[in-house]
Amino acid sequence: MDKKICAYICTGCGIGEALNIEELSGIVSGEMKTECKDHSCLCGSEGRAFLEADKAAGINTFVVCACSPRVMQTEFDLGDDTITVRANLREQVIWSAGQAEEGSEDSHQEWLNETAGDYVRMACARAKKTDLPEPYLLETLHKEILVMGGGLAGMTAAREASLAGSKVTIVERAAQLGGKALGWTKQFPTKAPYAELEAPTIGALIAEVEADANITVVLNTEVARIGGAPGNFGATFKPAGTKSEWDAPAKVGVDEQDRISKGEMEDPNAGLKPYAKNNGDAQKFGAVVLATGWVPADVSGYEHLGYTDNDRVVTNAEFEKMAKDGKLSGMNSVAFVMSPGGEEHDQDFPYANSVTSMVALKQAKYVRENNADAKAYILYQHMRTPGNMEMFYKGVQQDDGIFMTKAAVTSVTPSGNGCTVVAKNTLLGEDLSLDVDLVVLAAGMEPTTKHENSINLAYRQGPAFLDLDLFDGYADSHFICFPYETRRTGVYTCGGVRKAMNMEESMEDATGAALKAIQCIESADRGVSVHPRSGDKTFPEFFMQRCTQCKRCTEECPFGALDDDDKGTPLPNPTRCRRCGTCMGACPERIIGFKDYNVDLIGSMIKAIEVPEDDEDKLRILVLVCENDAYPALDMAGMRKHKISHMLRFIPVRCLGSVNMAWIRDALSAGLDGAMLIGCKYGDDYQCHFVKGSEIANKRMENIGDSLSTLGLEPERVRSEQVAITDYDKLPQLLNDFVDEIVELGPNPFKGF
């Protein structure tokens, strides 16, 4: 594309009054050698017409020097064949300037213009380096959806996808569809007044699925491995319970590979096809819905509840089976124990969520319906009945023979033909001892991902989801912001494997997963990113000739988008990619970049910052700001007119993970006096949109601090900070404190070299 660049300075919103527009135009047309125009209201209809007229006259790259790039995006989008670059003169210059101190109006005006000048320079530099993106398109796109697991969630997902027009294959390990729901005697109420249990509906769903021409059901079958990427997954099936040479290989790192070659360690993947090996017979799919469900949790670890050696103590799953098999006779008093902690703690059984509360209510009803004189005791620490299920709770409460109290159950001992349950801290004001025929423990629902790989991906980063330790065995899903996502693009979990949930919740969840799968396939079809940069046409491009096979990109990609060949050269899978640029930040050879975001581009922006020499009052500090949370927080600080030091220059980045340390070195060698990274919180409750980006950036910054000291620069000149989007009122303080520290350190000694 032959670029014709023009810069437009908007003088609306107070920009014209606060800044010297003539001087700014001079910078653009002189220093930056770019045509420059101004307009009193660029985002209005006249302004739009003004831009469109220029487009008709041949301008295809628009440098809009106005408000934050987060606002007026459609107003300044002049079409797919154009590039728009923004300079944030409003939120981050004039709105963050504060009031001039008395007697220093001139210097206030001076640095205000300097700041604005730098933003205009950076925008012009960016415009020159930005190219039009060309979407990545697969040679052949496969649209069929693979659903793993033929239980309630899997069948619902298949059915919903089919209703939306997709072809679906359900792979079920068992000999029949239905999963756990086949064993339920009754279901929770689904309609007002939510008081009565309902007859199971799973049979009707099975019939629907079997009659659906869009759905292929494969029984007695497991997925050996899934290779490929969204739009082009290749799934290899095998008979359930067997081993296959196509089983997904375990991850073997560089060190492990060394030990294997030295014979110090057995190859865990002996006899298996390498992960990158393509199976020509594999069935092709566009996306995967993982609905492999859950297994009842083991409760034998709680000795005081006596599950192991008392046959009158059963789990809720076992009790459900007793009810289903009609074996409740003689069960005239039953105690349901919800929490195993005794007096130690009040937590429910692990993996309970709200489901076990409702199951206890349901099963108490079984006891009562079986015998009108029977008594059911529910001893809970938490009664969780979300939404309309509160009505169900109320309904069960009405039953004369169901007795509930919050209680710490301290022991269950055999007595006669039954058990004696002792409970403390009850609502009745004293300790209870209950003689019952049976005790039912409210065991939780453990996701299958806790016990096995489940998804069986043939990826370089291994066959399972990552970070399962952090999430108790549930797939890492960025639970705070994007609960549907896994860290494997195109794979969506739903139902019991994602969270302990009841049938109604599972069905809703499965519907969502089906829609996500369709969205993923459609995005792959258009060659754009699916999440969280939905619709982004750019993707990382690799200049492979210069690759040194260091494997940093393949290791650090938070989403396992990069496989590699035998030598370690990365094999990108753009449809798995989320466009965070973590690979770009990792690459020491700087060979990875996007059309509109690369090492050279940001480097040029940094170099465009004017660095005044020999002036201790005019230090320059680079701040690379994550555009997901930190940049909006910064804008909000501006909207609230919080004063931010004029020495700072902000550049938005896709994710801190994309920050290449070359930029920090560029900045300091260009004479800037400090550099700061602001990103999202990381750790157990991470908020990073790309899960690992800010954490990785923080590590890299620690390392660069070391190398700065070898150059004789204070490591305090660089820093990494984490903020939440709501921290807009704390952000100015954090920034200004850093400026004070840099002022304390004095100017960069390399200035002027």
Partner 1 sequence: MNVQPDLDFIKYLKGAGGDTLKKCYQCATCSVVCPLSTDDKPFPRKEMIWAQWGLKEKLVADPDVFLCHQCGDCTAYCPRGAKPGDVLGAIRAYSYTHYGWPGGLAKLASSAKGLPMLIALPALVIFVLWVISGGMTIPSPETFSHYGYQQFFGHWDFHWLSKNVFFIDIMMLPAAGLAVFAAYRGVSTMWKAMAANAGMESAFRPSVLQFVKEFLWPSVLEIVQHDRFRECKTNIDRVKGHLPLMLSFMGLFTVTVWSALANDVFGLWIPALHGPMSVWNPIKILANVSAVALIVGVGILWSNRAKAEADAGATGTFYDWFLIWEIMAVGVTGLLAEIARWSGLAAPGYIMYFLHLVSIMMLFLYMPYTKFAHLVYRTFAMAFERYRDSAYGKNPLDQ
Query: Would you tell me which residues interact with partner 1 (CB under 8 A)?
Result: 373, 375, 394, 397-401, 403-406, 427-435
Cβ 288 vs Cβ 280: under 8 Å: no
Determine the Cα–Cα distance for residues 748 and 267; give it in Å rounded to an integer: 52
Task: Report how far apart, in Å, the C-alpha atoms of 56 and of each of 61, 73, 98, 135 are.
Answer: 12, 20, 40, 25
Determine the Cα–Cα distance for residues 626 and 723; give it in Å rounded to an integer: 10
Determine the Cα–Cα distance for residues 315 and 318; give it in Å rounded to an integer: 5
Phi and psi dihedrals of 669, rounded to 5?
-75, -20
From 173, 298, 280, select the one nearest 228 (Cα to Cα).
280
From 278, 349, 555, 331, select the one nearest 439 (Cα to Cα).
331
- Classify residue 703 as exposed, middle or buried by CB count within 10 Å of its CB (0-12, 13-18, 19+): exposed
DSSP for 379-426 reads: EES-----TTHHHHHHHHHT-TTEEEEE-EEEEEEEETTEEEEEEES-
- CB nearer to partner 1: give 434 or 626: 434
SS (H, E, C) 26-89: HHHHHHCCCEEEEECCCCCHHHHHHHHHHHHCCCCEEEEEECCCCCCCCCCCCCCCCEEEEEEC
Query: Which tokens is 126 given?
Result: 């960016």
Cβ 218 vs Cβ 224: under 8 Å: no
Task: Report how far apart, in Å, the C-alpha atoms of 649 and of each of 67, 334, 673, 679, 705 are.
Answer: 16, 69, 11, 16, 20
Which are the contacts of 173, defined by CB distance < 8 A and separation ≥ 6?
Answer: 149, 220, 221, 222, 240, 241
- CB nearer to partner 1: give 76 or 380: 380
Cβ 569 vs Cβ 131: under 8 Å: no
Question: Is beta strand 541-542 parallel, antiparallel or unpaired with respect to 592-593?
Answer: antiparallel
Cβ 521 vs Cβ 287: under 8 Å: yes
Helix, strand or coil, per DSSP, at residue 618 = coil
Residue type, 5: I
Scan for tokens 């065995």, then name that residue. 473
Which are the contacts of 523, defined by CB distance < 8 A and separation ≥ 6?
Answer: 230, 529, 530, 534, 535
Closest approach of partner 1 to the CB of residue 391, in Å: 12
Query: Which tokens is 478 given?
Result: 């960025």
Residue type, 495: G
Cβ 85 vs Cβ 616: under 8 Å: no
